[in-house]
A and B are shown apart, each in its own frame.
Chain A
Amino acid sequence: MAGITADLTEVAGATSEQLAVRAASGDVMARRCFGELVERYHARLFNFLLRRVRSRHDAEDLTQETFVRAWNRIRSYNPTWRFSTWLFTIGSRLAITHHRRSRDPVGGSVVEGLSERPASERRSRGGIWALAAACLTPEQHEAIWLRYVEELAIAEIAMVMNKSQVAVRVCLFRARQALAERLPAPDQENVDVAPRVAAALAGGM
């Protein structure tokens, strides 16, 4: 009993990479370690995929499929990469396959689930992200999401998006440039971001 408690404490305190390696070892704690990974990354992966497929139902299905595939292929995980990079790479590939299957263009104009909230609330909650969702291409949005929400390095984003590092840097630069062009410059009366984003969105986004 004490051993099990110690193992559970160890699982809770371990890094994601350590948990993934333990899950790949196939010992008695493997399933428990992977369960901990599911708990840590479930919401993050779901929100990432929600911006890709723009449907709550599809995002939940893809999240589930991603975790099942990750579990079945956990032995191929390379611990030199972060677990999040590996997991998001699988999720991204599945999202691409999903788009090919459904023959929809990647991304859309409205995110189901987010659109249920009033527009004013979305703007105040999202700020610059609401502007990003409105004016960036799906590829640019994915790049800035991985960079600023998931805090991945350029090399890791390149792996997830299956692009070169130079292409990722260019994509990030263009995304920031597009946002900078649309966001009104701060003046003495209007320093806060939310009204400026609201003005940009009202200005024909």
Chain B
Amino acid sequence: MGRKHRGSHSRVRHAEVERLLSRTAPPWVDPSPEAAAAIERSIDESTQTPIPLELPWLRQTRWGGLVAAAVAVAAVGAFSYVIGHRSPVPTSAPVSVSLAPERPLVIEPAGSVETPGSRAAAHASAVASRAGRPLESEMELVRRDTQRAVGQVFSRLPIFEPR
């Protein structure tokens, strides 16, 4: 009973405090008239100064730093990939024609009769079909060099350092 009485008394006091807070004006201090003029002046000054470049998508997310790091890593990866594929990769030594297979693989139709004349003709046609295209061994070297170049780029990043 007493507890109920105390609760009801507390609610009455809370209501009274709430009513007083709502109805009583707080002590008010008027700002100085110069302050308003100073605000207007500083706003005008800030309008004249260039606003620095802002990246709102970066500022508005809490994971802005992580997103920026992921974008940076992706950019480095894409750059390395493009550089590895587009620019000429220096090879250790120029590929000599002598490394090319003596005789390219030519699938001859079954049942054909091989004569010295037909053999020479087949060789000439194989050389002609290969003209302007890199040899297979050269392609392989370019591929390895690209992989090495990309590997070197990533190996310089601290997270890829060997333990």
Name A's B-contacting residues (CB within 8 A).
Answer: 31, 34-35, 38-39, 42-43, 46-47, 50, 56, 60, 63-64, 67-68, 71-72, 76, 113-114, 122, 125-130, 132, 144-145, 147-149, 176-177, 179-180, 183, 185-186, 193
Give complex CA distance A129, B20 in Å: 9
Please name all residues of chain B whose beta carbon is closer than 8 Å to the beta carbon of A56 when the two chains form the complex.
29
> Is the C-beta of B36 less than 8 angstroms from some C-beta in chain A?
yes
Task: Look across to chain A and name the residue whose beta carbon is closest to the beta carbon of B41.
Answer: A64
Tell me, rounded to whole Å, the shortest Cβ–Cβ distance linking B160 to chain A. Answer: 38
Task: Look across to chain B and name the residue whose beta carbon is closest to the beta carbon of A197.
Answer: B20
Please name all residues of chain A whose beta carbon is closer than 8 Å to the beta carbon of B36 when the two chains form the complex.
38-39, 42
In contact, B29 and A68 (Cβ under 8 angstroms) = no
Interface hub of B16, B17, B22, B42 (most chain A Cβ within 10 A):
B17
Q: Which of A71, A185, A193 contacts B43 (CB 8 A)?
A: A71
B28-72 CB contact bits vs A (8 Å, 1 = yes)?
Answer: 111110011011101110110001000010001000000000000
Chain B interface SS verdict (over half):
helix
Apart from A63-B39, A127-B20, what are 20 other A-B pairs with CB-CB below 8 Å?
A: A31-B47, A34-B43, A38-B40, A47-B26, A47-B29, A56-B29, A60-B31, A64-B35, A68-B46, A114-B27, A125-B27, A126-B26, A129-B27, A144-B21, A176-B21, A179-B17, A180-B13, A180-B14, A185-B13, A186-B16
> Is the C-beta of B114 less than 8 angstroms from some C-beta in chain A?
no
In contact, B27 and A130 (Cβ under 8 angstroms) = yes
In contact, A149 and B32 (Cβ under 8 angstroms) = no
Please name all residues of chain A whose beta carbon is closer than 8 Å to the beta carbon of B31 when the two chains form the complex.
42-43, 46, 60, 63
In contact, B30 and A64 (Cβ under 8 angstroms) = no
Please name all residues of chain A whose beta carbon is closer than 8 Å to the beta carbon of B40 when the two chains form the complex.
35, 38
Please name all residues of chain A whose beta carbon is closer than 8 Å to the beta carbon of B98 when the two chains form the complex.
none
Task: Look across to chain B and name the residue whose beta carbon is closest to the beta carbon of A128.
Answer: B20
Please name all residues of chain B whose beta carbon is closer than 8 Å to the beta carbon of A179 when the two chains form the complex.
17, 21
B57-110 with Cβ < 8 A to chain A: 60
In contact, B35 and A60 (Cβ under 8 angstroms) = yes
Give complex CA distance A128, B14 in Å: 13
In contact, A180 and B17 (Cβ under 8 angstroms) = yes
Please name all residues of chain A whose beta carbon is closer than 8 Å to the beta carbon of B112 when the two chains form the complex.
none
In contact, B21 and A148 (Cβ under 8 angstroms) = yes
Please name all residues of chain A whose beta carbon is closer than 8 Å to the beta carbon of B10 when the two chains form the complex.
177, 180
In contact, B46 and A71 (Cβ under 8 angstroms) = yes
Task: Look across to chain B and name the residue whose beta carbon is closest to the beta carbon of A121.
Answer: B27
Q: Which of B14, B30, B35, B39 contacts A176 (CB 8 A)?
A: B14
